[in-house]
Amino acid sequence: MSTALIILAAGKGTRMESDLPKVLHRIAHAPMLWHAMRAGLAVDPEETVVVAGHEAAQVEASAKDFDPQVKVVIQAEQLGTGHAVAQAKNALQGFDGNAIVLYGDTPFISEDTLLAMLAARKTHDIVVLGFEAADPGRYGRLLCSGETLERIVEFKDATDEERAITLCNSGVICADSTVLFNLVDAVGNDNASGEYYLTDIVAIARARGLSATVVRCDERETLGVNSRAELAVAEWLFQKNRRAELMADGVSMAAPDTVYLAWDTVIGRDSEIEPNVVFGPGVTVENEVRIRAFSHLEGAHVSRGSIVGPFARLRPGAELGENVHVGNFVEVKNAVLHEGVKANHLTYLGDADIGARTNIGAGTITCNYDGVFKHRTVIGADAFIGSDTMLVAPVTLGDGAMTASGSTITEDVPAAALAVARARQENKPGLAKKLFDMLKARKAKMVKGAS
């Protein structure tokens, strides 16, 4: 049976104290909304509807950045979760299948949990995701009779006896889409908040003779983010879980708590990540790579056997072939370093294509920007770039070319040629001593005058 996702993302998030919609605050460099949308991909949804409200244009743009096919509907007034789900009805007109309600500020629902809910839907009309809370606090409570869920009661409306229940409501619900919208249409707002609670559909369903049940998950999956402090907890939880997953898959981390990953970081087995490494979005590291301490990678691809760092920076568009060495204080941006390239010290390689086995000397800079346009540097295979070479793009150096240290290269260098572009050295016998004597005398005079 087909599945649709309805993701509620209309709230302002007052406690965030921010002009940014709550669901666009980032965890591991991605909006919380993207985490919720990615979680939903586990059920291979035929349709995805995001319900936006506060700063809807921003939310819609972000949702479409993740999935251009997503449908975005507007909840002009925030009148409760039931009202929010009702806004998706027209967008799913004609859809025949299950609908799962997720939340843009609840980023950690797992694939296994969603699949378990779909499995439970085969024998029940309504499936609610619940969890045993260590501190139930103000969560809604699930009132069950055996495996049957009878109703959900919000904390504000619960009796003392009901508040003693520890089985809590996550808000995530799965039902046939037609049934879901029929039940939502019957929800009223006669409650302490004057809102249309999605949770009321369970009692309505039971009154109509429909069945309801609970699928349980770990409480950590249901973590909702409503404040900056909770956002920090969510970041910590993401990092902790993702590090553990990578190490279980064969990645070594000597000090995992100091490694920070993006939501989409990919690292191959038998790779080693040293302490204090930060991954921005869009990084893929293949097998048997070593990322040394204090390096920063973003929008980069690192092939098998390469070594990066320490203190290296790979910026977007950095493409490292196999067995490339990028050393301390080397920055690579929008550049391809082919197999076996070595750039070990104090170098900037931007907008460049560097051939296999070429050696880049310390202090080399590709001068790629003229103040208006970016230009490209192309270096062939087996070339040797002497230390402190300035490569003024656009410029091309052929296979096996060499530059003399301290050269400023402004013209193409043919294959196998040596380029020397610096002033000729001239030695002045005895002049150094004369200069030192003069400077020392001036210093002594200054010191005497000051006293």
What mean pLDDT, rounded, does the chain reach? 96
**Least confident segment among 121-130, 187-196, 224-233:** 187-196
Q: Are 410 and 396 in contact (CB under 8 A)?
A: no
- Which residues 6+ apart lie within 8 Å of 401 measured at CB? 379, 380, 383, 384, 413, 414, 415, 416, 417, 418, 419
Quick one: tokens of 426? 């001239």
Q: What is the pLDDT of residues 93-110, one digit of tens each?
A: 999 999 999 999 999 999
Between CA 267 and CA 287 the distance in angstroms is 7
What pLDDT, on a 0 to 100 scale, did the predictor assign at position 447? 85
What is the average pLDDT across 313-320? 98
pLDDT greater than 80 at residue 338: yes
Cα-Cα end-to-end distance for the chain: 93
What pLDDT, on a 0 to 100 scale, did the predictor assign at position 192? 77
pLDDT greater than 90 at residue 311: yes
What pLDDT, on a 0 to 100 scale, did the predictor assign at position 448? 83
Q: Are 143 and 228 in contact (CB under 8 A)?
A: no
Catalytic (active-site) positions: 345
What pLDDT, on a 0 to 100 scale, did the predictor assign at position 291? 98
- Domains of the chain with CATH codes: 3-222 (3.90.550.10), 228-419 (2.160.10.10)
Q: What is the pLDDT of residues 248-273, one digit of tens each?
A: 999 999 999 999 999 999 999 999 99
Between CA 213 and CA 392 the distance in angstroms is 69
Confidence of residue 130 (pLDDT cuts 50, 70, 90): very high
Element (H, E) at 296: strand 296-297
What percent of the chain has pLDDT above 70?
100
Q: Are 378 and 391 in contact (CB under 8 A)?
A: no
The neighbouring-strand residues paired with 71 are 49
The better pLDDT of the pair 319, 13 is held by 319
- Which residues 6+ apart lie within 8 Å of 305 measured at CB? 288, 289, 322, 323
**Residue 353 half-sphere exposure, CB side, CA atoms within 13 Å?**
10
Decide: pTM greater than 0.95. Answer: no
What is the average pLDDT across 378-403? 98
What is the average pLDDT across 337-350? 98
Confidence of residue 183 (pLDDT cuts 50, 70, 90): very high
Question: Among 361, 329, 326, which Cα is nearest to 340's?
Answer: 326
pLDDT greater than 80 at residue 146: yes
Confidence of residue 425 (pLDDT cuts 50, 70, 90): confident
* Number of Cβ atoms within 10 Å of the Cβ of 226: 14
pLDDT greater than 90 at residue 193: no
Between CA 200 and CA 206 the distance in angstroms is 10
Between CA 299 and CA 316 the distance in angstroms is 4
SS3 label, residue 102: strand
What is the average pLDDT across 14-24? 94
What is the average pLDDT across 159-167? 93
- Which residues 6+ apart lie within 8 Å of 322 measured at CB? 303, 304, 305, 306, 339, 340
- Which residues 6+ apart lie within 8 Å of 382 measured at CB? 355, 356, 357, 358, 399, 400
What pLDDT, on a 0 to 100 scale, did the predictor assign at position 138? 87
Q: What is the pLDDT of residues 366-381, one digit of tens each?
A: 999 999 999 999 999 9
What percent of the chain has pLDDT above 90?
93
pLDDT greater than 80 at residue 451: no
What is the DSSP secondary structure assignment for residue 7, as one 8-state letter? Answer: E
Q: Are 351 and 375 in contact (CB under 8 A)?
A: yes
